[in-house]
Amino acid sequence: MISARHAMLRQAQEYFHSLLLGVVKWDDVEVDKAIPIPSVRGQRDQGMVRDLVVARFNGFKMELASPFDDVGWPMGRVSVTRGPWSIEGPLDAATWHRIAEFIKDQKAQGDGDGDTAGGTDWGR
């Protein structure tokens, strides 16, 4: 059985190859280590997100959250941030197309203004 983390990474990689070919290489993407969430015996609800993948590339920060029944994102969520600009939506094809356009637009504006999306120790 494939984990939610690996499934989200595979989906992101596929969309990078199909929508961002020549714009961003998947090899430039650095994925943060998984943060283990200790399980609590007898409790299914352990927070708003079951699994979270954080990846960084070319000044962008991408977060992929696995689906959770009561949050309002039944398919999961993806968000991409670069500096003060961001885009967010469910993990579906339409959102990936919007994200690809967002990344292309931000790259066209220049590579020097995206470093505020975080470094290797962002948010820790």
Per-residue model confidence (pLDDT) at position 111: 53
Instruction: Tell me the average pLDDT across 57-70.
Output: 84
- Give the whole-angstrom CA distance, residue 64 versus residue 9: 8
C-alpha 78/C-alpha 88 separation (Å) is 6
Share of the chain above pLDDT 70, in %: 71
Mean pLDDT check: name the lowest of 31-35, 46-50, 94-98. 46-50
Domain holding 88, by residue range, is 4-33+49-112
Residue 18 is assigned to a structural domain of this protein: yes
- β-sheet bridge partners, residue 116: none
- Residue 102: inside a domain: yes
Contact of 85 with 99, CB cutoff 8 Å:
no
The predicted pLDDT at position 34 comes to 81
Is the per-residue pLDDT at 117 higher than 80? no
For the chain, what is the domain count?
1
- Asked, for residue 100, whether it belongs to a domain, the answer is yes
Residue 27 lies in a domain: yes
Confidence of residue 38 (pLDDT cuts 50, 70, 90): low
119 lies in a domain?
no
Sign of the torsion formed by the C-alpha atoms of 29, 33, 37 and 39:
positive
- Distance CA(84)–CA(14), nearest Å, equals 27
pLDDT, the chain, mean:
80
4 with 33: CB under 8 angstroms? no
The three-point CA angle 48-49-52 to 5° equals 150
What is d(CA 110, CA 92) in angstroms, rounded to the nearest whole number? 28
